[in-house]
Amino acid sequence: MAIKTPSRSRFRPLQGVDQSILDANKSLIDEIDRRKILRGAVSLGALTMLTGCNVTNQDAVQSVLKAVSSLNDEIQQLIFRPNHLVPTYTEAEVLKPPRFNAYYDVEDIAPVDGAKWKLELAGLVQDKKPWTVAQFAELPEQELIIRHICVEGWDYIGQWSGVNFRQFLERIGADLKAKYVSFRCADDYYGSIDMATALHPQTILATKYAKQPITDPFGFPLRLRTATKLGFKNPKWITAIEVTNTFPGGYWEDRGFNWHSGI
């Protein structure tokens, strides 16, 4: 009896793209999948973010797929424009409440007790004194109304505020020449970003959504919000931050997703 092997390709259709375009570009899509640059579905929004090109029409799809298939982390890092600002939106466009996602269902989240919570600091940081919720509340706030793009193929506009990450890193005496900033979370999630992204003017440690404290599903009391990265590069329920030159990886990156995953 023949054993049916599951299809090797886990690539599901790009949202908003005609099946005929996908058929015509099948080899490129397979190539992307083979290199595990992207796994699972990918939206046009995600492609736009990964490539920095606005993927709005059919002609653009092929060139963008080509671009993505040839990208690797090093190249993406080279084309990163440190002070290039990502589009922001108006309050009227903000989704309330935001859309939940994690590697488990919303019923399974374990809320963080703000009274007991502390942010631990490690690595190339001069002042490793842990931070409390009350101390974060005293920091100056920056607001970002930005698009959250999940690689699974959905997105929403969110309104986040909290301390500018560069300001926070300067305040704790972080070595801004180090390569990576890594995050540990109250769940088993972990992640990391390159220093250039950490220092980007639209990267914050968010404590509020739509001017109210972030609620449990969305990362209370502290999460990262960076405008230049896909959703999974924004850890929620952060418990520790480390500045390091040793590549830290991340939960999804260690399962095959592209580490840079941004512009």
Ligand X SMILES: Nc1nc2c(c(=O)[nH]1)N[C@H]1C(S)=C(S)[C@@H](COP(=O)(O)O)O[C@H]1N2
Q: Which residues bind ligand X (CB under 6 A)?
A: 98-103, 148, 150, 185, 187, 189, 218, 231-232, 234-237
β pairing state of 238-244 and 120-123? parallel
Contact region with Mo ion (CB under 5 A), list: 28-36, 118-126, 130-138, 146-154: 146-154
Decide whether 15 or 132 has the Cβ nearer to Mo ion: 15
- For residue 262, what is the DSSP state? B
226 vs 166: CA distance, rounded Å: 12
Decide whether 88 or 101 has the Cβ nearer to Mo ion: 101
Q: Which does 221 bind (CB under 5 to 8 A by kind): ligand X, Mo ion, none?
A: none
Q: Which of 32, 125, 149, 150 binds Mo ion (CB under 5 A)?
A: 150
DSSP bridge partners of 120: 240
Decide whether 31 or 152 has the Cβ nearer to ligand X: 152
Decide whether 117 or 237 has the Cβ nearer to Mo ion: 237
Q: Which does 235 bind (CB under 5 to 8 A by kind): Mo ion, ligand X, none?
A: ligand X
Least distance (Å) between residue 231 CB and Mo ion = 4
Decide whether 147 or 148 has the Cβ nearer to ligand X: 148
Collapsed DSSP state (helix, strand, coil) of residue 232: helix
Please write down the HEC assignment for all residues of 71-114. CCHHHHHHHCCCCCCCCCCCHHHCCCCCCCCCCCCHHHCCCCCC
Q: Half-sphere exposure (CA, 13 Å, Cβ side) for 167? A: 13
Residues 110/118, Cβ–Cβ less than 8 Å: no
Q: Does 231 bind Mo ion (CB under 5 A)?
A: yes
Q: Which does 247 bind (CB under 5 to 8 A by kind): Mo ion, ligand X, none?
A: none
Least distance (Å) between residue 232 CB and ligand X = 4
Q: How far does Cα 157 stand from its chain's mean position?
A: 14
Query: And the tokens for 95?
Result: 């989704």
Least distance (Å) between residue 61 CB and ligand X = 23
153: left (phi over 0), alpha (psi -120 to 50) or beta: left
Decide whether 184 or 200 has the Cβ nearer to ligand X: 184
64 vs 146: CA distance, rounded Å: 22
Q: Does 232 bind Mo ion (CB under 5 A)?
A: yes
Least distance (Å) between residue 184 CB and ligand X = 9
* Residue ranges binding Mo ion (CB under 5 A): 150, 231-232
